[in-house]
Chain A
Amino acid sequence: MALNVVSICGSLRKGSFNAMVQRALPALAPDGMTITPAPSFAEFPLYNADIQNSTGFPAPVNVLADAIRAADGVVFCTPEYNFTIPGGLKNALDWVSRLPNQPFAGKAVALQSASPGPVGGARVQYDMRKAMAFLDAFVLNKPEIFIGNCAAKFDEKSGELKDETTRGFIKQQLASFATFIARVAPKA
């Protein structure tokens, strides 16, 4: 079965470790799974119901929502900011959560995080699981991908994920994600 998965990076900076993870995904995906980066949330205004009610949903919000709706699954690669979800990523979730035909409803989701610290972003993932539960997404359980002490795991120049153990874990997760997507997909 051909699976179309979009990846969303929680960090906006160019040299982001999580963006490096995101770029590593296509090569680690199982046969039949295509992984493409989702449109950016960098230009979203901060959520304000008054904007939504006066001028409607900003165009970039609809673009991201459409990409999520059209995908069979979503993989988040996100850093942890201040022990929880980055504000920008949460703002993106807040915007799309208000749309009719809410794009995460019934969507298969997998979580990954990379961090220079030893915990590897565990707290952001557990908070993401809570928000995703509210949004009625189906979040993959295991294997979890926490890339701790991540700076040493990428090539300093190319930014390529070179740590074989981590690459192996991601392969396993994406293979499990393919099975999971098939399991939770709407049945004909």
Chain B
Amino acid sequence: MADRQLDVLVICGSLRKGSYNAALARMLPGLAPPGLKFRTAPSFEKFPIYNADIQNSTGFPADVVAWADAIRSADGVIIVSPEYNWSIPGGLKNAIDWVSRMKDQPFKDKPVALQSAAGGILGGSRSQYHLRQSLISVDAHLFGRPEVIVAFAPQKFDEKTIELKDQTAIDLIKQQLAGFEKYIRRHVPG
């Protein structure tokens, strides 16, 4: 029997429309092996700043619950995120902080792969290493290699369509997605 297609949730760490990382996320279906299908995560844009008093008085906001449900129901998660100030964007970290407080915590035992695009020479790698450190706290399983780090992003995307046109980066993403499929199947029964 052929393996069933795996359901992968894509989370983008930037909220701006012209984001290179959002553009990268849009490329994934075209570069993936047939065993993977993709879903875009609901937005975390309207999450309040985490405050335990909100959680304890009115409970988890509906948007947070929707985001957590999307993660829980996925076989794997790919986070495509820029780096802000040498670390994780506050908005993305705030989303992780919210769902980390849930019972049936959604990242637990979830396979996660990371990608980043950035204008600088390090391509957002520092944000990726902070995400690796942070996602250990929620018991996610972080995919190793290849890493997808798209440095000097403005040179690698088409100026008008914001489509990734750099062949080296495209090949790397293909390799990562093929590897991530195998990685998820190691973690997911059936």
Contacts and interface: CB of A to CB of B under 8 A. Distances in A.
Interface of A: 11-15, 41-42, 44, 46-50, 81-94, 97, 123, 127, 130-131, 133-135
B44 A46 contact: yes
A85 B87 contact: yes
Interface in B1-59: 14-17, 44-45, 47, 49-53
B49 A48 contact: no
Interface of B: 14-17, 44-45, 47, 49-53, 84-97, 100, 126, 130, 133-138
20 contacts: A11-B51, A12-B53, A13-B51, A41-B49, A47-B89, A47-B90, A48-B45, A50-B15, A85-B87, A85-B93, A87-B95, A87-B96, A89-B90, A91-B93, A94-B89, A127-B87, A130-B87, A130-B126, A131-B85, A134-B86
Contact of A94 (B44, B85, B100): B85
Given A12-B53, A135-B85, A82 B90 contact: no
A135 to B, nearest CB: 6
B53 A13 contact: yes
B86 A131 contact: yes
Contacts of B51: 11-13, 42, 88
Contacts of B17: 50
B3 to A, nearest CB: 32
B15 A86 contact: no
A12 B50 contact: yes
Contact of A92 (B90, B96, B138): B90
A97 B84 contact: yes
B109 to A, nearest CB: 16
A135 B85 CA distance: 7
